[in-house]
Amino acid sequence: MAKRLLASFVPEHYDLLIDINRKAKTIKGTTTIVGKAKETEIAVNQKFLQVSQVLVDGQPVPFELNQARETIEIKLAKQGPVTLTIDYQAPLTDTMMGIYPSYYDVAGERKQLVGTQFETTFARQAFPCVDEPAAKATFSLAIKFDEHPGETIIANMPEDHVTNGVHYFQETVKMSTYLVAFAFGEMQKKLTTTKSGVQVGVFATKAHQAKELDFALDIAKRAIEFYEDFYQTKYPLPHSWQLALPDFSAGAMENWGLVTYREAYLLLDPDNTALDTKRVVATVITHELAHQWFGDLVTMNWWDDLWLNESFANMMEYLSVDALQPDWHIWELFQTSEAPMALQRDATDGVQSVHVDVEDPREIDAIFDGAIVYAKGSRLLVMVRSLIGDDALRAGLKNYFAAHQYGNAKGDDLWQALGEASGMNIGAIMKAWLNQPGYPVVEAKVVDGYLTLHQKQFFIGDGQDQNRLWPIPLNANFKAPKLMEKADLDLGDYQSLRQAAGKPLRLNDGNNSHLIVKYAPELLDDILDHLNELDHITQLQLLQDLRLLAEAHQISYADLVGLLGKFKASQSAIVNDALYRIASKLRDFIVPNTPSETNLKQYFATLSADQTKRLGWKKQINDDFDAELMRPTILSAALYAEDSAAIAAAHALFKQHSAAKLPADVRALVLQNEVVNFGSGELFDQLLTDYQQTSDPSYKQDLCFALTKTKDTTLIGKLIDRFEDAKTIKPQDLRAWYRGLLANPAGQQAAWDWIRDEWDWLDATVGGDMEFATFITVTSAIFHTPARLAEFKAFFEPKVNTPGLTREIQMDVKVVETKVALVQAEAQAVNEAVTRMISK
Ligand code: BES
Ligand code: ZN
């Protein structure tokens, strides 16, 4: 393990004076660090800083910049208390890391809002510091900038005073460098106060309507009140600001007291936003606010325990929204987003475990794998919660915060607190889940009259079985032990168990354990015979597990085709989500513009026609929650099926409204229908201009969705031409455009050529960013033919040693290989099954 800087120098307080000039694009600063030297050779982090002078206790000393270690190295005369004063300069760049400007237009005028992004290791680009999460210290910020009237500046703490144009902020509590933040420019805001007296605010540029801030303000206030109660620990700062930044690389960032967001994840038009979008925005806000305690007040000791921050916040976002807004059924969203994401990625050999050893800064960014650290990690914590219950969870957390506040913790500290509160050795159970990659498939069979269970690791594609075992919370509805710890388990005489339970065998009831179940045919038939008695989560789980088994060649994909019809009348949004996820996968087995596609479209029609009639394009007075949520799922299927009534109805709706004012839940699909079936160059230009000009983030997303669906190659070329024009498509949004075109058979070649030709540009533009690797992920999620596989390997394999991309490339090659093999093995059977279903 590389030595940490904190081992030789412990900072206690920072005085930061930073002078930012937007016009000259420069940062000038003086950082004073009071701390203790434990050795005489010490170092502090810096990156891209030009250091002009280092003083030790007021005296200039020689120093060395080590660019590889990203440090300034200093020799001291003695150990003990020391004050370092460092003068430096740096360029202000558009990298969305460190201190950076965001760009936006108001009334045709280009403006800037400067903000910060310091996680993971970018504080060192703004000021010299020991940039390690365990190096907690207090900070006094003083910021100067080329200020003009009407501008404001905000930071982690309230402003204290302004002298000679320098804004001085109150000293912070002890915190990690990656959570320091400030922002300045022209902003609008809305404020409120929690019951306990915390000031809550939402800030945005003036390009937005004031009402777009209301939703976030309400959720943020109630979330803080909820957490103060749930954690039984007060919010420790005077204010909690939420700020939407026009340029933002991640989704949102939990800076203590000044949380920053992508505009799409904070602002929404309360009068026209889909329920689905509201739910997502609410979970982003509650995620970041969960971190204000879990992450900010108590921080992981090192990045290997990143899961401690992120998995936890990812569970809490659902737990809290469920408390704030029970009518949103937010745990259902967990089942349709986190669960499938985790189960898919975690089934590929070579995947990382939730807990990973990590040292190199570029590798630190690469461990933020949404499917693992977030989705799988939160699933594991849901499993813990269901094992110990909320009372023990709350009691344990209270003790955990009390023991580690303003300090750091490791995974074991959490297990200890939860173990004491619950009386269970929870750490022993969780280690197997956190430290091992992958998850088990539990096979249930009746052998000689006995019901037997067997666990083994589940792989999609080739996998090296290492005989891994997991302590599995079974959640069986038959008489069975709580935990299955060995490879095999005999539950006893099947007939008597079946009789005693009075219903078919179900394992992992509630879908809270991270595993899938493979029922032997007779057990599965028993379940399917009682389909209507199963709750929606169970139905979703059944479809989800079968889909994964089919992707792993353990059952035939063709069998799923017959099964979908049994679910097609379901009025549950999540069951339909699972159903159409499988149906969409069937597109991999056909060739566009051939009879196989015509047949599949017709199959989509048989699945969706009745529901399309039932739901229509407009909200209905008798709409329930599920009807509203599933309408887009069904209509999307209807458009694929080329349902002529649906196409005409969408067109009529388009004619009635201006594009932006279309009902938000179906807007993306209405626009898609227009672009694909009624499109013209004129319409296209108009929508692209709308994209550039609108400040409504969800309308922007809908436009991207629709425009990338065009089949017109001239227009596709026009789009590609805008990919590198940040005034049209911001780098933060480029991946969605690329993905959209790549998924469009008419646009795939152009998009694929673009990324290969422009890889160096992409690397230079978003290369330092942790989202960079996901350009590869989305490509592998789409490719499924031998030709594309060969091209994919030819292009990416030579890049396999690029830091931060290694695992992604290795895994994604396997992902495409596995799909190609599946399609080759099953295309004929699948197409035959589809033909059978439509001729019935
Ligand atoms: N701490 C992260 C943001 C982050 C991630 C910063 C990686 C630097 C590197 C933040 O709390 C987060 O998890 N954001 C998510 C959104 C969230 C709602 C799941 C994100 O950015 O994707
Ligand atoms: Zn987070």
Ligand 1: residues with CB < 6 A are 119-120, 250-254, 284, 287-288, 291, 310, 313, 368, 374, 770
| The amino acid at 516 | I
- Name the residue with tokens 């106060």: 193
First CA to last CA distance, the chain: 64
The per-residue DSSP string of 328-364 comes to G-HHHHHHHTHHHHHHHHTTSTTPPPSS----SHHHH
- Name the residue with tokens 């699909």: 669
The two three-digit tokens of residue 721, written as one number? 């031409």
| The amino acid at 187 | M
Sheet holding 63-66, edge to edge: 41-45, 71-75, 63-66
Q: Compute the distance from residue 475 Cα to the ligand 1 centre, in Å.
A: 32
What phi, psi does 746 have (nearest 5°)?
Answer: -75, -20
Name the closest-CA residue to atom 17, ligand 1.
284
Residue 588 in this model has a pLDDT that exceeds 70: yes
CA 578 to CA 820: how far, in whole Å? 22
CA 141 to CA 183: how far, in whole Å? 12
The per-residue DSSP string of 446-500 comes to EETTEEEEEEEE--SSS---------EE---SSS--SEE-SSEEEEEEHHHHHHH
pLDDT, mean of residues 508-524? 97
| The amino acid at 257 | G
Q: 14 pairs with which residues across the strands?
A: 33, 139
Residue 124, number of CB atoms within 10 A of its CB: 24
Q: Compute the distance from residue 566 Cα to the ligand 1 centre, in Å.
A: 39
Q: Compute the distance from residue 820 Cα to the ligand 2 centre, in Å.
A: 35
Residue 820, number of CB atoms within 10 A of its CB: 20
CA 646 to CA 637: how far, in whole Å? 10
CA 258 to CA 297: how far, in whole Å? 14
CA 467 to CA 431: how far, in whole Å? 16
C-alpha distances (whole Å) from 806 to each of 767, 800, 802, 809 are 14, 5, 6, 5
Sheet holding 440-447, edge to edge: 488-493, 450-457, 440-447, 516-519
Helix (H) or strand (E) segment spanning residue 585: helix 573-585
pLDDT, mean of residues 591-613? 97
pLDDT band at 648 (very low <50, low <70, confident <90, very high): very high
| The amino acid at 188 | Q
Exposed (0-12), middle (13-18) or buried (19+): which is 696, by Cβ within 10 Å?
buried
The two three-digit tokens of residue 10, written as one number? 């412990």
Name the closest-CA residue to atom 2, ligand 1.
253
Q: Compute the distance from residue 664 Cα to the ligand 1 centre, in Å.
A: 26
pLDDT band at 630 (very low <50, low <70, confident <90, very high): very high
CA 155 to CA 144: how far, in whole Å? 13
Confidence at residue 726, expressed as pLDDT on a 0 to 100 scale: 94
Q: Is 416 helix (H, G, I), strand (E, B) or coil?
A: helix
Helices (H) and strands (E) counted in the chain, each on its own, are 27, 28
* 515 CB-side CA count, 13 A: 25
| Best probe residue, ligand 1, of 249, 287, 294, 315 (max atoms within 8 Å of C-beta) | 287
The per-residue DSSP string of 6-25 comes to GGTEEEEEEEEEEEEETTTT
Which carries the bigger pLDDT value, residue 108 or residue 88? 88
CA 414 to CA 489: how far, in whole Å? 31
For the CA of 261, the nearest ligand:
1
Q: Is 4 helix (H, G, I), strand (E, B) or coil?
A: coil
CA 292 to CA 255: how far, in whole Å? 8
Classify strands 152-155 and 516-519 as parallel, antiparallel or unpaired. Answer: unpaired
Decide if 406 contacts 173 (C-beta within 8 A). Answer: yes
| Best probe residue, ligand 1, of 96, 116, 119, 376 (max atoms within 8 Å of C-beta) | 119
pLDDT band at 2 (very low <50, low <70, confident <90, very high): confident
Domains assigned to the chain: 1-181 (2.60.40.1730), 309-435 (1.10.390.10), 440-545 (2.60.40.1910), 565-839 (1.25.50.20)
Q: Compute the distance from residue 368 Cα to the ligand 2 centre, in Å.
A: 10
* Mean pLDDT over the full length of the chain: 97
Residue 769 in this model has a pLDDT that exceeds 80: no
| The amino acid at 727 | K
Name the closest-CA residue to atom 7, ligand 1.
368
The two three-digit tokens of residue 300, written as one number? 């992981």
Percent of the chain with pLDDT over 90: 96
Closest CA to 174 of 142, 122, 134, 116: 134
CA 553 to CA 829: how far, in whole Å? 13
Confidence at residue 262, expressed as pLDDT on a 0 to 100 scale: 97
Residue 522 in this model has a pLDDT that exceeds 90: yes
| Best probe residue, ligand 1, of 97, 253, 259, 373 (max atoms within 8 Å of C-beta) | 253
Q: What are the tens digits of pLDDT across the range 681-730? A: 999 999 999 999 999 999 999 999 999 999 999 999 999 999 999 999 99
Which carries the bigger pLDDT value, residue 548 or residue 364? 548
pLDDT band at 1 (very low <50, low <70, confident <90, very high): low
Closest CA to 559 of 548, 568, 569, 550: 550
Decide if 643 contacts 609 (C-beta within 8 A). Answer: yes
Residue 657 in this model has a pLDDT that exceeds 80: yes
Rg (CA), the chain: 28
Name the closest-CA residue to atom 3, ligand 1.
253
- CA-based torsion, 728, 734, 740, 745: positive or negative: positive
Exposed (0-12), middle (13-18) or buried (19+): which is 197, by Cβ within 10 Å?
exposed
Cα 439 to chain centroid, rounded: 21
Peptide bond into 85 cis (omega under 30): no
- CA-based torsion, 810, 811, 814, 816: positive or negative: negative
Is 288 labeled as catalytic in the residue annotation?
Answer: yes
CA 471 to CA 749: how far, in whole Å? 46
Atom number, ligand 1, closest to the C-alpha of residue 250: 21
Q: Which residues of 320-336 are buried (b: 16+ CB within 10 A; e: fewer)?
A: bbbbbeeebbbbbbbbb
Residue 302 in this model has a pLDDT that exceeds 70: yes
Confidence at residue 408, expressed as pLDDT on a 0 to 100 scale: 98
Q: Which residues of 636-668 are buried (b: 16+ CB within 10 A; e: fewer)?
A: bbbbbbebeebbebbeebbeeeebbebebbbbb
Q: What are the tens digits of pLDDT across the range 196-251? A: 999 999 999 999 999 999 999 999 999 999 999 999 999 999 999 999 999 999 99
Q: Which residues contact 365 (CB under 8 A, 6 or more apart)?
A: 120, 769, 770, 804
Atom number, ligand 1, closest to the C-alpha of residue 265: 18
Segments of 668-819 assigned E as strands = none
Q: What are the tens digits of pLDDT across the range 774-817? A: 999 999 999 999 999 999 999 999 999 998 899 999 999 999 99
Q: Which of 70, 132, 288, 332 is catalytic?
A: 288
Residue 106 in this model has a pLDDT that exceeds 90: yes
Exposed (0-12), middle (13-18) or buried (19+): which is 147, by Cβ within 10 Å?
middle
CA 806 to CA 460: how far, in whole Å? 20
Q: Compute the distance from residue 310 Cα to the ligand 1 centre, in Å.
A: 8
Nearest 10 degrees: Cα torsion 229, 230, 233, 239: -70
The per-residue DSSP string of 231-276 comes to TTS---SSEEEEEEESS-SSSEE--TTEEEEEGGGT---TTS--HH
CA 773 to CA 759: how far, in whole Å? 12
Name the closest-CA residue to atom 8, ligand 1.
119
Q: Compute the distance from residue 47 Cα to the ligand 2 centre, in Å.
A: 24
Q: Which residues surround ligand 2, an ion (CB under 5 A)?
A: 310, 313
Q: Which residues contact 285 (CB under 8 A, 6 or more apart)?
A: 216, 219, 220, 223, 242, 252, 259, 261, 265, 266
Q: Is 37 helix (H, G, I), strand (E, B) or coil?
A: strand
Name the closest-CA residue to atom 16, ligand 1.
251
Atom number, ligand 1, closest to the C-alpha of residue 291: 11
pLDDT, mean of residues 507-526? 97
Name the closest-CA residue to atom 6, ligand 1.
119
Atom number, ligand 1, closest to the C-alpha of residue 374: 19
CA 583 to CA 564: how far, in whole Å? 8
